[in-house]
Amino acid sequence: MRFGHFSDAAREYVITTPRTPYPWINYLGTEEYFGLISHTGGGYSFYRDARMRRLTRYRYNNVPTDVGGRYFYVNDDGDVWTPSWAPVQAELDHFEARHGLSYTVITGERNGLRIETLYLVPLGATAEIHRVRLTNTGATAKGVKLFSILEFNLWNALDDQTNYQRNLSLAEVEVDGSTIYHKTEYRERRNHYAVHAVNAPISGYDTDRETFFGLYGGWNAPDAVVAGHCHNSIASGWSPIGAHQIDVALAPGEVRDLVFVLGYVENEPGAKWESPGVVNKAPARALLQRFSTSEQVDAAMVELRSYWDDLLSTFTVDSGDPRVDRMVNVWNPYQCMVTFNMSRSASYFETGIGRGMGFRDSNQDLLGFVHLVPDRARERILDIAATQLPDGSAYHQYQLLTKRGNHDIGSGFNDDPLWLIEGVAAYVSETGDLAILDEDVPFDNDPEDTGTLFEHLRRSFHHVLHNRGPHGLPLIGRADWNDCLNLNCFSETPGESFQTTENLAGGSAESVFIAGLFVHCAPDYATLAEAVRAPEEADRARRAAAAMSAVVLDHGWDGDWFVRAYDYFGNKIGSSECDEGRIYIEPQGFCVMAGIGVESGEAVRALDSVGKILDTDHGIMLLQPPYTSYHLELGEISTYPPGYKENGSIFCHSNPWVMIAETMVGRGDRAFAYWKKIAPTFREEISEVHRLEPYVYAQMIAGKDAPRHGEAKNSWLTGTAAWNFVAITQHILGVKPEMEGLRVQPCLPAEMTKVEVTRRCRGAQYRITVANRGESGSPRLAVDGQPINGTVVPYGPAGSIVEITVDC
């Protein structure tokens, strides 16, 4: 069952009922100022860091689940309703929410009044616009009262939800005409405030929450809205809000636009005040000037659309199947931009107060983002590398505002350093910018202790070699990619964090997954070593990878699949010797991607085992059979009921590894079949089962052992976005920037007979036409009409157009 449809021409998902199976959200903002917005107007806003600079308040896990946002209420002669349906939930004659690229439009109509609200963050602005368009669709004149309302957050979102003895005495505001200034803590160390304004005279306002809602009133019927007027309250402590009242008269057919702005404003420390106690409003006024008319908002929309037109023109496909094209051309890159910006901080499953930027997560996010804005990828790489520790290990997370490693979590996740190699290799392949390797970058942000970026990669690579266990496999440390495989941890204390608990001394648990990742990184690392004129290091890396492959085949091969790990006691995990957790997805994907066992047959066998044991109608499960009880020696993985999260769900992040692996052995049909099972555009038709947004990937879909098999959770912020983009574009469609040229090596399913791809890379434009005759494995290429050997097309000069035809 569907709850809306794609509008491909507009690049929107159009939701046609407010009663979707879960709030379906979107993101506003592309660079510094961000907002989350659900299809019924729920959500919140922040400047750069969802924890430290939260502008508006949102209560997670609420009843109903999604209440709190930037809302507009109507009092139409006593009839109170909200055009976003929530929070009043009065029935609408018409409802539509359109989620587009960095904007959302929500329309509600009732009793002859249509209200369409456009929400967007203009490029280059630290503000969001809510343009409210009222249309009298009836035959009689209307006089209604319109109210805006949002709740201000006292900046630090964690403190805001926990420290009431202080917070309830802090709030301060100013009101100047139609502009409300939220200035809590501005009197002390902050030099920023928020504004909430409208480009029209108002007939009232409220800034004190209790006055607007009533102490016992709620979002469904605020006292002021029901009474039909605000009270011009000035918040003093308690909870500050920004509410405007505007009386609107509309003749039949008349349309009126109101432009509301919610903005973040900073002053220089020396220029904070206009007069004692009165904030310097000059930058706020300048901001409001930029968006004081509806035409200015139209212009901002045009700019935003052309920004996305340009970004998305980097890679386009025409495959003949709209479900493929809309995923690859629009929604997947869009999600990659969001994961790049947010890491794992703020979604409807991440509260924005929990995690900073993940070292491994951010590096993986780059894989799907680097082609969109390479310069921002470059900056991110240097930020991440600057948090690396001198011994090559890495803080697991860092804070975006301070760019410092997070001491609470610390380091010890032994896969982390290798993801830096993956990220840098993707960036250099995309751009050819070898100069980045020579950039001088600190270790642990210490300006006294620096090295070139290549030196950082070298320490990453050697960190693995220096930390090997009894079988010669990499030590897992705290955990590897699977954060929940805590093999050295042995936690018996309820509620203790598996991420931070002290590990047992002498932990010698080993990870076959890290071995696969190591072998996978090695060729790229060696090529980068050659680029910095370190050929011996390149040789060393290649030899180390060959040796590690051999170790994997000796100690990491179980007979029908790759073993997952060795535990603290040296027992196998993910082996036919185990009762539960006999086979895991990660080493099957990564070892085959690394090429281990491809020549000697283990790869195909492992992939066949995946197909037999882990595959379901909804995607590939992480492991089988799931753990049915808590295992002290395994940690968090066994805390989840069977079929959820790492304990046997369909963990969408690792599914594309198997897709890529299938293309490594030339099985395009299987790769594509796996992709279709988890790709949201293909799951749209079972939205009542999947429940989350049909336009973005979710981290997990419940596995077959869970009662709710097929139900997704944790949409948006997941490495699933980047890896699926890599799988479908670089391996199935097969267009992959490499150091020495653009590799064009499609591995297509039989059902895709003709495919056209355009790819912009290093300033040249590649137009690729693929005729699929079902002989995947041996594509024949012609470049500008001339047949070439192999599948790597040398990069054309900037500005050139290169025509490539492929027969496969």
Residue in the shown chain whose Cβ atom is closest to ligand NOJ = 483
Nearer to ligand NOJ, 344 or 540 (CB): 344
The contact mask relative to ligand BGC for 620-639 (x = CB under 6 A, - = no) is ----------------x---
686/680 Cα distance (integer angstroms): 10
422 binds ligand BGC (CB under 6 A): no
Q: Where are the alpha helices (DSSP H) in 347-443?
A: 359-369, 374-385, 416-431
Question: What tokens does 323 get?
Answer: 């479900």
Q: Judge whether 705 counts as a catalytic residue.
A: no
280 interacts with, out of ligand BGC, ligand NOJ, none, CB within 5 to 8 A per kind: none
Question: What tokens does 496 get?
Answer: 């203790």
Measured distance between the N- and C-terminal CA atoms of the chain, rounded to whole angstroms: 37
User: Could you say which residues in the range 23-52 bind ligand BGC, by CB under 6 A?
Assistant: none
146/80 Cα distance (integer angstroms): 10
What burial class does residue 797 get, using C-beta atoms within 10 Å of its C-beta: 0-12 exposed, 13-18 middle, 19+ buried?
exposed
Nearest approach, Cβ of residue 484 and ligand BGC (Å): 5
Nearest approach, Cβ of residue 207 and ligand BGC (Å): 38
Catalytic residue, candidates 483, 558, 615, 705: 483
Sheet containing strand 792-793, edge to edge, reads 735-737, 742-744, 792-793
360 interacts with, out of ligand NOJ, ligand BGC, none, CB within 5 to 8 A per kind: ligand NOJ
Nearer to ligand NOJ, 484 or 742 (CB): 484
Residue 185's closest CA among 296, 250, 96, 279?
Answer: 279
422 binds ligand NOJ (CB under 6 A): no
DSSP secondary structure string, 29-62? -SSSEEEEEETTSB--EEES-TTTSEEE---SS-
Nearest approach, Cβ of residue 653 and ligand NOJ (Å): 6
Nearer to ligand NOJ, 11 or 360 (CB): 360
484 binds ligand NOJ (CB under 6 A): yes
Residue that is written with structure tokens 């109608």 in the block: 617
Kindly tell me which residue out of 26, 56, 294, 499 binds ligand BGC, with binding defined by CB under 6 A. Answer: 499
Nearest approach, Cβ of residue 27 and ligand NOJ (Å): 18
Nearest approach, Cβ of residue 639 and ligand NOJ (Å): 13
Does the N-terminal peptide bond of residue 694 adopt cis geometry, omega within 30 degrees of 0? no
Kindly tell me which residue out of 645, 667, 683, 736 binds ligand BGC, with binding defined by CB under 6 A. Answer: 645
Nearest approach, Cβ of residue 482 and ligand NOJ (Å): 5
482 interacts with, out of ligand BGC, ligand NOJ, none, CB within 5 to 8 A per kind: ligand NOJ
Nearer to ligand NOJ, 633 or 807 (CB): 633
Sign of torsion over alpha carbons 75, 78, 83, 88:
positive
The contact mask relative to ligand NOJ for 332-351 (x = CB under 6 A, - = no) is ------------x-------
Nearest approach, Cβ of residue 518 and ligand BGC (Å): 21
732/748 Cα distance (integer angstroms): 6
Q: Which residues of 618-650 are buried (b: 16+ CB within 10 A; e: fewer)?
A: bbbbbbbbbbeeeeebbbbbbbbebbbbbbbbb
Length of the chain: 808
481 interacts with, out of ligand NOJ, ligand BGC, none, CB within 5 to 8 A per kind: ligand NOJ
CB atoms within 10 A of CB 6: 21
Kindly tell me which residue out of 49, 109, 208, 483 binds ligand NOJ, with binding defined by CB under 6 A. Answer: 483
Which residue type does 64 have? Answer: P
589 — phi, psi (to 5°)? -65, -55
499 interacts with, out of ligand BGC, ligand NOJ, none, CB within 5 to 8 A per kind: ligand BGC
483 binds ligand BGC (CB under 6 A): yes
Size of the site for ligand NOJ (CB under 6 A): 9
361 interacts with, out of ligand NOJ, ligand BGC, none, CB within 5 to 8 A per kind: ligand NOJ
Nearer to ligand NOJ, 480 or 662 (CB): 480
Nearer to ligand NOJ, 344 or 736 (CB): 344
Sign of torsion over alpha carbons 423, 428, 431, 435:
positive
Nearer to ligand NOJ, 213 or 413 (CB): 413
Nearest approach, Cβ of residue 586 and ligand NOJ (Å): 9
**Cβ(196)–Cβ(260) below 8 Å:** yes
Size of the site for ligand BGC (CB under 6 A): 6
**Cβ(143)–Cβ(59) below 8 Å:** no
Residue 394's closest CA among 365, 359, 367?
Answer: 359
Q: Which residues of 35-50 are buried (b: 16+ CB within 10 A; e: fewer)?
A: bbbbbbbbbbbbbbbb
508/473 Cα distance (integer angstroms): 10
3-state percent helix, strand, coil for the chain, nearest multiple of 5: 30, 30, 40
Question: What tokens does 711 get?
Answer: 């139900």
Q: Which residues of 321-351 are buried (b: 16+ CB within 10 A; e: fewer)?
A: bebbbbbbbbbbbbbbbbbbbbbbbbbbbbb
Nearer to ligand BGC, 172 or 415 (CB): 415
Nearer to ligand BGC, 84 or 406 (CB): 406
User: Could you say which residues in the range 724-753 bind ligand NOJ, by CB under 6 A?
Assistant: none
Nearer to ligand BGC, 572 or 645 (CB): 645
- DSSP 3-state assignment of 386? coil
Nearer to ligand NOJ, 49 or 206 (CB): 49
User: Could you say which residues in the range 96-115 bind ligand BGC, by CB under 6 A?
Assistant: none
Nearest approach, Cβ of residue 588 and ligand BGC (Å): 19
Kindly tell me which residue out of 243, 336, 337, 484 binds ligand BGC, with binding defined by CB under 6 A. Answer: 484
Looking from the CA of 32 toward its CB, the CA atoms found within 13 Å total 10
360 binds ligand BGC (CB under 6 A): no
Question: What tokens does 383 get?
Answer: 């930020």
646 binds ligand BGC (CB under 6 A): yes
646 binds ligand NOJ (CB under 6 A): yes
Nearest approach, Cβ of residue 2 and ligand NOJ (Å): 29
Does the N-terminal peptide bond of residue 87 adopt cis geometry, omega within 30 degrees of 0? yes
User: Could you say which residues in the range 349-408 bind ligand NOJ, by CB under 6 A?
Assistant: 358, 360-361
User: Could you say which residues in the range 87-126 bind ligand NOJ, by CB under 6 A?
Assistant: none
CB atoms within 10 A of CB 389: 19
480 interacts with, out of ligand NOJ, ligand BGC, none, CB within 5 to 8 A per kind: none
70 interacts with, out of ligand NOJ, ligand BGC, none, CB within 5 to 8 A per kind: none
Q: Which residues are catalytically annotated?
A: 483
Contact set with ligand BGC (CB under 6 A): 483-484, 499, 636, 645-646
Contact set with ligand NOJ (CB under 6 A): 344, 358, 360-361, 481-484, 646
